[in-house]
Chains A and B, each alone.
Chain A
Amino acid sequence: MPSAGKRESLDLDVALSHVDGDRMLLRELSEIFIEDYPRMLAEMQNSVLGRDHATLERLAHTLKGRLAYFGAGEARDGAADLETMGRERDLAGAWKSLEELESAMAGVLRELESFCRGRIE
């Protein structure tokens, strides 16, 4: 079986190891991730604007867990920073972190969509 391989923004080998090699399941999870992300991002943006620290912490925590699942190191670190800001109730620089996260997420989403479009072996 060819390796899904480490890509620029995520590592599908890592992701496959979490589903015990079940590509169908990984595609299903990728689709959930792709579908949920815009809502999660919008809610995080609203929580920063509304200074809702608890919601920011919770959403960033969830996103961090999912990104780690896909071996998306850079985006995961960005989500972890936002989680810390929410927990420590210090949102200085949160908007900038959100923009950096969005930038890192663009690559993650592109590669997940590519995986979902690909043939399941």
Chain B
Amino acid sequence: MKVLLADDDAFFRLSLRKALCRWGYEVVLASDGTEAWDILQGIDPPRLVILDWMMPGMNGVDICRRIRAQMTDTYSYVILITSKNEKDDVITALDAEADDYVGKPFDIHELRARLQSGLRIINLQSSLALKQRELCHQATHDSLTGIWNRQAILDILERETAAARAARKPLSAAIVDIDDFKRVNDTFGHVIGDGVLRETVLTMQSALRHFDHIGRYGGEEFVIVMPGVRKGQGLKIAERVRQRVAGHAFDSLPGREKVTLSIGIASDRGAGDPGLLLRSADEALYRAKTRGRNRVEPAAAPLPRERREGRRRLV
């Protein structure tokens, strides 16, 4: 475990560095507050931080306040060490959100124990942060295919629609449905059906741009959000997706059978209404189904700008 030791006095740096090394810590030294702060802003900085209170450049309390002002998901455990030991100074240190406070000269064994407390807190915080990231991923991703789940892709659509409107940029959204997917499940069972869903997603992703968003909307339905894309380009991307899947020999299907997609796509030039966009794409998908499947259908012509704006005023 790395420890930052910031003290402007070479005497104390030597004394503490030796002790910390003996206890198995990897010591990073700073001889003033500015150097300490620079180290803390670097890549993979020490999370266990020992700061002398009085230092040139920036004192230990100021550094502590700055650390706490930064919103990061990795916790820094800060111990202030100083000759100051009046009650008011302890209050100042704790007000600056230091985790601990040791007066100089300190009992070396006490410092060791306090560092171990710090280590426990850092380890606990790391476990919590990891768990939080896992939960956040679970809450926003489809467990079968690994892409965004329904709520997440709808949130993205809403965000991208607002961003496109603010930036006066186009946006397209598509709803994709796997043709005759019920037959796959009924014929081969759900395990193979799940494999087909996963393989379809991977194949669709290979045909999308890396900044397009794709999420699972329902059983075998998907939503694709394409920022900056007008109707013509959106149709090309959707057609590329359709062809890529139609031409793919599915490893998950016996006999490497083919799977086809029906896609409805709608484009929006700044109306800023994700619900309307999705409904338009859904209507187009319905037409793609009724016109024989394995095809891309665009939404009907977009509403005139004045009507869209009139509609928004009603909201």
Binding site for B on A (CB under 8 A): 14, 17-20, 22, 25, 28-29, 32-33, 36, 58, 61-62, 64-66, 68-69
Choose the segment among B7-15, B183-191, B220-228, B266-274 that binds chain A (4+ C-beta atoms closer than 8 Å). Answer: B7-15
Task: Say whether chain A's binding surface is mostly helix, strand, loop, or mixed.
Answer: helix
How many chain B residues have a CB neighbour from A under 8 Å?
20
Per the bound structure, the CA–CA distance linking A69 and B56 in Å amounts to: 21
Contacts of A25 in B (CB 8 A): 14-15, 18
Known pairs A64-B83, A65-B105; A32 contacts B10 (CB<8 A): yes
Q: Is the pair B54, A29 in contact by a Cβ cutoff of 8 Å?
A: no
Contacts of A18 in B (CB 8 A): 15, 105-108
Q: Is the pair B83, A68 in contact by a Cβ cutoff of 8 Å?
A: yes
B51 vs chain A, min Cβ distance (A): 14
Q: Is the pair B15, A33 in contact by a Cβ cutoff of 8 Å?
A: no
Q: Is the pair A33, B108 in contact by a Cβ cutoff of 8 Å?
A: no
Contacts of B246 in A (CB 8 A): none
Cβ-closest 5 pairs across A and B? A69-B105, A65-B83, A68-B105, A65-B104, A20-B108
B19 at the interface (CB under 8 A from A): yes
Q: Give the A-B pair count, Cβ closer than 8 A.
A: 53
Contacts of A32 in B (CB 8 A): 10-11, 14
Known pairs A66-B9, A68-B104; A19 contacts B83 (CB<8 A): no
Give 24 pairs: A residue, B residue, CB < 8 Å, sorted on A: A14-B105, A17-B107, A18-B106, A18-B107, A18-B108, A19-B18, A20-B22, A20-B109, A22-B18, A25-B18, A29-B14, A29-B15, A36-B11, A61-B83, A62-B8, A65-B9, A65-B82, A65-B104, A65-B105, A66-B12, A68-B83, A68-B104, A68-B105, A69-B105
Q: Is the pair A20, B14 in contact by a Cβ cutoff of 8 Å?
A: no
Given A33-B11, A36-B11, 15 additional A-B pairs, CB 8 A: A18-B107, A20-B108, A20-B109, A22-B18, A25-B14, A28-B14, A29-B11, A29-B15, A32-B11, A62-B9, A65-B83, A65-B105, A68-B104, A69-B12, A69-B15
Q: Is the pair B108, A19 in contact by a Cβ cutoff of 8 Å?
A: yes
Contacts of A69 in B (CB 8 A): 11-12, 15, 104-105
Contacts of A36 in B (CB 8 A): 11
Contacts of A68 in B (CB 8 A): 83, 104-105
Cβ-closest chain B residue relative to A19: B15
Cβ-closest chain B residue relative to A28: B14
Per the bound structure, the CA–CA distance linking A31 and B10 in Å amounts to: 12
Contacts of A29 in B (CB 8 A): 11, 14-15
